[in-house]
Structures are given as C-alpha cells and as structure tokens.
Amino acid sequence: MSMLNSFYAAIIPMTIYLLILWRQDKYEREPFSFLIIHFLWGAVGAIILSIIGSSIFLWFFSFILSESLLDLSGAVIVAPIVEEIAKALILFVTYRSAKFDNVTDGMLYGAAVGLGFGMTENFLYFSGAADNSTIWLYTVILRTATSALVHAICTGIIGGVFGIFKFQRSYFKSIFITGFLIFPMLIHSAWNFLVSFDFTFLYGIIFIVICIIIFWRVYKSFINSELKLIREELFDELYLANYIDFISSNKRFRKGWIDEKKRNKLITLSTTLAFRKNQLKKFGTLESNSLSDEIESIRDKIKELVIT
C-alpha cells in the first residue's frame, strides 16, 4: 500500500470521529477553528514531545532493564505517562479561554487532541505495515476502531476534568487537575498491557469497548444537561417568557416560533446568557465583575431582538 493510502486511512476516520463529536454538541456548538487547534496539537505538538520524552525515559530504563522488559515498560509505563502529559499540555492553556466553559467543551477539546494524536500515530503504523496488504488492512481496521479512540477517551477525560474545575473557587485546582491525569494514564496503561499478550488481547478489546460506551454516554448526558441548565438560568428572564420553551428544548431547531432572521442569534445569545449566569455563581469576586458586565450586555442585545 502506498503512503498516500496510509495517509487517507489515518486522516479520514479521525476527521469523521471529530465531526460526530462536534455535531453532537448542538446546544452550544464550539468554534470549529478552535477545535482544529486542539486536533493539530495532538497531531504534531504532542507527538513530537512524546517522541522526545519517551526516548529519554527509555534511554534511562535501558541501563536497568532487559530488552523484553524494556519493550513492555515502554508500552505500559512510559507511553501512558509521557503521551497523556504531552496531549494535556494544551488544555492547561486553552481552558482559560471563554470558548471553554463547561464539561462538554472539555471532553470535546480533549477528544480532539486525542484524535489528532491517534491520526499521526496511525499513519506511522500504517506506513510501517504498507509492504503487506493483508497486515496493512488488519492494522488499519484494528487501530482505527480501538487505539485511536483510546487516545480520544483518555484526553477527553482530562478535558472534562478541566471543565469541572474551571469555575471552582480553588487556588489548588491546577494541582487537582494534574492529579486526575493519573486516571487516563491508568486506562492507557491497562489497554497497552492487555493488547501486549495474545492471551489477554480479547480482554483488551472488551475493555476498550466498555470505555467507549461509557465515554459516549457521559458525553451525551452532559450535552443533555445543558438544556436543563439553560431553562433554569433563563427562568427569571421575564422578557424571554414566550421563548424559553423553545430555547431550552429541541424545539429551538424548528422554524416559525420567531422571525427566522432572529432565531439563530436569539438562540446563541440566550444560551450564552444562561452559561454566563451559571458561571457567575461559581466564580470569585474579580471574575464576577467582568462576567456581570458581559451578562448585562447580552441581556441588552436579547431585549433588542425580542422587544423590537
């Protein structure tokens, strides 16, 4: 198989996965450009850091471990630690962005990083198997359905943790978030261990299928909880009384309940208002001042839409 086939086999499935996750986030959809930044970090930045970090660790371990143990420790210890840290680094920066404002966002951005990482890693594996079409096809199917999704799940988990802690009033939240990195590292390590041996390989497949199902259900549950949050936070906005039932349900996607020229803008502004009000309850004093100003500005814009 040619390098071009390996490239397509690596990028197309990851792009589809990314679009599925992005499209599911339908109540406060994230800017696709910001999503791509995370994807590219995983595909390039995290890969480079992982190669450097793994090389350093394995060089050190080579003095104290046999070759067989070195390979196993590289897969079960070094890779999970180095790769999960490398992938998560961008989240320590971008979670401060106004675009990153809840658990759903964190899971989505984290998964985007993981999918980018999985894409590049898959390309390297696919290229290495290109001499034998049967092995190449087996590698493509297996890694597309499992290994790449492990990266998405693991970084998606830590992204969700960022979303949980972003609005917590704690001086130690960066420490807490770093501590939670252990969880995706353990998942990554367990996966690598189980697929390293023939007699545990099937257990590895079962393990990752369970992880995929759990991650998907949690992701969907947080998306669905956004509608409840929107309804609760907009309940006391009396000028929206005639529109809350539409804005806080799937009816928002129907036409006819408001001038079509205003519908998308009203949905966007009202959703943002709901999230900002929720964040105001969680933020400290300094941030509260700026949030209060933003909330009043959004209210004025909404009133212009619904009153005029």
Task: Give the C-alpha distances (Å, rounded to integers) separating 19 from 22, 90, 144, 194.
Answer: 5, 20, 15, 29
* Least reliable range by pLDDT among 49-53, 214-218, 254-258: 254-258
**pLDDT value of position 170:** 64
Instruction: Give me the mean pLDDT over the 19-26 stretch.
Output: 92
**pLDDT value of position 20:** 96
**pLDDT value of position 28:** 80
At 304, the pLDDT band (50, 70, 90 cuts) reads confident
Instruction: Give me the mean pLDDT over the 256-263 stretch.
Output: 86
pLDDT tens for each residue of 84-118: 999 999 999 998 888 888 899 999 999 999 999 99
**pLDDT value of position 169:** 67
**pLDDT value of position 255:** 86
pLDDT tens for each residue of 110-153: 999 999 999 999 999 999 988 898 999 999 999 999 999 999 99
At 283, the pLDDT band (50, 70, 90 cuts) reads low
Q: Please name which of 36, 29, 45, 34 lies closest in space to residue 14, comparing C-alpha atoms.
A: 36
**pLDDT value of position 211:** 97
Instruction: Give me the mean pLDDT over the 190-201 stretch.
Output: 95
pLDDT tens for each residue of 198-241: 999 999 999 999 999 999 999 999 998 888 888 899 988 888 88
**pLDDT value of position 193:** 96
pLDDT value at 285 more than 60: no
Between 235 and 46, name the one with better pLDDT: 46
Between 154 and 65, name the one with better pLDDT: 154
Calculate the average pLDDT of the chain. Answer: 90
Indicate the domain borders of the chain.
Answer: 3-223, 235-307
